[in-house]
Homo-oligomer: A and B are copies of this chain.
Amino acid sequence: MTLRLLQEHGYDRLTVDAVAATARASKATVYRRWPSKAELVLAAVTDGIRQVAIAPDTGSLREDLLRLGFAICQQARRHASTMAAVLTEIARNPAIGDALQQAFVDQRKALIHRVLQKGVERGEIEAEAISDELWDLLPNYIVCRALIPGRPPTDATVQALVDDVLMPSLTQSRHRGS
């Protein structure tokens, strides 16, 4: 509901009054739970986007990456306009960016690391294949495709990304024998 108001009005024009009115709650109630507008919006976004919180564990790295990718793809297509609005607001309100970082990016990073770590434990990839620079290649590319109009990502996008890019990249050190 906050999400809908955010999409309609943008962050600057969103008021806690409007949120309270739409929720039929008092402004005091809303402020008690979310002391600042940034926190209210962030709660709505993280709640609305409903991140995949549990790492898939199929016993195969490729399969885990595919499942994660399909889930991110669905979310990204559904919430593209919200995400675009949030990115624009972040440029103007760094506090949202910091909160988003903690609530969203860090959680996603932990999830992807868990999937890769299991791949290392099963001997599918080397520990060095886990890159701190590019850990977000899968989610970022998929989200970017959803944000830029014309070519929304599909399951085929995820599959090409996993099979033709991520798996060859993650297993390359084995081919080089290093």
Name A's B-contacting residues (CB within 8 A).
10, 80-81, 84-85, 87-88, 90-91, 94, 97, 100-101, 105, 131, 133-134, 136-137, 140-141, 143-145, 147-150, 156-157, 160-161, 164-165, 168-169, 172, 175
Contact = CB atoms under 8 A, between A and B. Distances in A.
- Count of this chain's copies in the oligomeric assembly: 2
A87 to B, nearest CB: 5
A81 B164 CA distance: 32
Contacts of A133: 156-157, 160
Grouping DSSP codes into helix (H, G, I), strand (E, B) and loop, the A interface class, with mixed when no group exceeds half, is helix
A148 B140 contact: yes
B149 A94 contact: yes
A105 B148 contact: yes
Contacts of A85: 88, 91
A150 B101 contact: yes
A88 B10 CA distance: 10
Contacts of A157: 133-134
Contacts of A81: 91
Contact of A169 (B105, B141, B144, B169): B169
Contacts of A141: 134, 137, 140-141, 144
A126 B141 CA distance: 24
Contacts of A80: 91
A80 B156 CA distance: 29
B140 A160 contact: no
A87 B88 contact: yes
A134 B160 contact: yes
A161 B97 CA distance: 25
